[in-house]
Amino acid sequence: MFVRTLSDVRDSGREIVIAGGSARTARFITAADGVGFAFSDVSQGAGQEANLWYKHHWEANYIVEGTGEVEEVATGRKWRLEPGTIYVVGPEDRHVVRAETDLRLISVFNPPIMGDENHDADGSYPPTGPIPPGPG
């Protein structure tokens, strides 16, 4: 077993700025840990907007603090984000996350990301392994 604190993550340089500067993420678990998922604690500042499209991953985001909304680009459908809500996106799900207040989310990726990548122009990360099938 292993145990890590936010200080450990910061001291090892695994707290980084992502999504075009709109968010900060602390990468607690990455592909190198070999547990089959990546785990991050993400903060998006009030008023910030992130345009994202994980073409090669499934990601769950669970809201711990704050409010905002997530929009599915293909349909224009929007959901309110508040503590106790989770949104889950896959390769087909181009989406926009808007923070109304400061927003804190727990992010889990499968396949696990490396942890040092940043979003490309489409809001995507490079492939890191086989993509789960999703709910089908």
Closest CA to 65 of 87, 29, 47, 41: 41
Question: What is the nearest approach in angstroms of a second copy to the Cβ of residue 126?
Answer: 18
Helix (H) or strand (E) holding 68: strand 68-72
Binding flags for a second copy, 104-133, as an x/- string (CB under 8 A) = --x-x-xx--------------------xx
20: phi then psi, degrees, rounded to nearest 5: 65, 30
- Residues in binding contact with a second copy, number by CB under 8 A: 41
Binding flags for a second copy, 14-43, as an x/- string (CB under 8 A) = --------------xx--xxxxxx-x-x--
Q: Which stretch binds a second copy (CB under 8 A): 15-23, 43-51, 54-62, 119-127?
A: 54-62
Q: Which amino acid is at 113?
A: I
Which residue among 14, 56, 95, 119 contacts a second copy (CB under 8 A)? 95
Which residue among 85, 96, 102, 117 contacts a second copy (CB under 8 A)? 85
Which residue among 45, 49, 51, 90 contacts a second copy (CB under 8 A)? 90
* Residues facing 16 on adjacent strands: 25
Q: Which stretch binds a second copy (CB under 8 A): 11-19, 42-50, 80-88, 116-124?
A: 80-88
User: What is the sign, positive or negative, of the torsion defined by CA atoms of 33, 25, 77, 75?
Assistant: negative
The CA-atom distances, in angstroms, between 101 and each of 1, 27, 40, 61, 87 are 36, 22, 20, 16, 18
